[in-house]
Structure 1
Amino acid sequence: MRYTEYHAGKAVIKDKSLLAEAMEKLARLEDAEEKDRLGQWIPCSERLPENAMNVIAQFSSGT
């Protein structure tokens, strides 16, 4: 089910009574997107790990 439509290039909810349901759908999509990214390598040029986060690093020397 589509909850949004576009007005002046911006997405708006079609039926405000379905806002809570639309937000739940968004949360599920975000969770699935995050789950897909777990276990993938992230280049340091993209972002650095958060403070106090355990990481696995590999250097060009192989260590």
Structure 2
Amino acid sequence: MMFFLLDEVLKAAMSSMDSYGRPNSIELLVLIDRRYKREIPIQANYCGAKIDTFKGDKVNVVWNENSKKT
């Protein structure tokens, strides 16, 4: 079973997964890893790009088919 979650609802989604039974593992995929803005201590298993930001910083991202991974 695979879930796609936004960071604001990650903790609530993890709690709701208990109704399906406790998962053996949870893997997290993010498009942007904002390393210094984590609200819960979970690191993504897969990410599109890593950006160093602080709480309160806003990030605008524009990707197209010609974008290169940084």
Structure scoring higher RCO (CA < 8 A, sep ≥ 6) equals 2
Structure with more of its chain in strand, by fraction: 2
TM-score norm. by structure 2 comes to 0.25
TM-score norm. by structure 1 comes to 0.26
Larger radius of gyration: 1
Structure with more of its chain in helix, by fraction: 1
